[in-house]
């Protein structure tokens, strides 16, 4: 009985952590909205930080649920759910999340840092979005955008990855969350 209770409270803890990370993504998205952009349409992708941290915190099911809730929540809050913007966001987030998770599956924290995960995720996200842009918006001209998009993805991946490293080094909350995730 106590084992069942402990399993349930462990699962509840994971669900609570996943919903907390989703809330953090909404919040960071709101923060990013207020920051000036160096280039129009270029976003740092601060809202992806919780997905990046979740690679080491959540089991696969909760991780993917987090991605869907992040996209859905941000689309509802920004009022873009029925537009191509939400579709692009879903494709980019899913591609990025799966690549980061796959990379972590084959390489431990010592071998690949948050910077490496983030750069791989950003490139996967931008590739997926350019592929969708080719189908829905730009047609064959999308190939001209690819180098610029990959370049921006590389820069934003490096910056966000470095920010994540710094955050992970200094965050008392993340230490607590990691302890909770280990059960």
Partner 1 sequence: MDRAQRRERWEGLFPAGRLALTGALLSLVLLFQPSLEGRAVILAAALTAAWLSGRKLSPLLTLLVMAGIVGANLLVPLGRKLASWGPLVITEIALYEGLTKAVTFEALVFISKACLGPNLRLPGPFGAFFASALRTYERILAYKGKIGARSFIADIDAALVAVYGEKLDTMIGEPMDSRSAPASLRGNGYLIATTLLGLASLFIGR
By CB under 8 A, name the binding residues for partner 1. 15-16, 18-20, 22-24, 26-27, 30-31, 40, 65, 68-69, 72-73, 75-77, 79-86, 136-142, 144-145, 166-167, 170-174, 176-177
What the block records as the tokens of 52 is: 């990046």
Decide whether 6 or 141 has the Cβ nearer to partner 1: 141
Decide whether 111 or 143 has the Cβ nearer to partner 1: 143
As measured in angstroms, the least distance from the Cβ of 7 to partner 1 is: 18
The sign of the torsion formed by the CA atoms of 162, 168, 172, 176 equals positive
Q: How far apart are the first and last CA of the chain?
A: 18
As measured in angstroms, the least distance from the Cβ of 106 to partner 1 is: 29
Contact 163, 49 (CB under 8 A): yes
As measured in angstroms, the least distance from the Cβ of 75 to partner 1 is: 8
d(CA 78, CA 145): 25
d(CA 60, CA 142): 33
As measured in angstroms, the least distance from the Cβ of 42 to partner 1 is: 14
Decide whether 79 or 151 has the Cβ nearer to partner 1: 79
d(CA 181, CA 58): 7
Decide whether 107 or 135 has the Cβ nearer to partner 1: 135
């Amino acid at each position: 009985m106590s084992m069942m209770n402990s399993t349930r409270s462990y699962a509840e803890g994971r669900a609570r952590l996943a919903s907390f990370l989703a809330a953090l993504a909404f919040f960071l998205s709101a923060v990013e909205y207020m920051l000036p952009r160096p280039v129009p349409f270029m976003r740092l992708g601060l809202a992806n930080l919780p997905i990046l941290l979740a690679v080491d915190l959540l089991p696969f099911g909760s991780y993917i649920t987090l991605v869907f809730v992040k996209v859905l929540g941000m689309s509802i809050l920004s009022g873009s759910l029925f537009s191509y913007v939400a579709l692009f966001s879903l494709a980019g987030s899913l591609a990025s999340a799966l690549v980061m998770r796959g990379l972590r599956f084959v390489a431990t924290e010592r071998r690949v840092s948050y910077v490496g995960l983030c750069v791989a995720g950003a490139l996967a996200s931008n590739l997926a979005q350019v592929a969708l842009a080719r189908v829905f918006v730009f047609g064959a001209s999308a190939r001209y955008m690819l180098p610029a998009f990959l370049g921006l993805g590389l820069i934003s991946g490096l910056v966000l990855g470095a920010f994540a490293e710094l955050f992970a080094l200094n965050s008392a909350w993340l230490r607590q969350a990691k302890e909770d995730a280990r059960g």
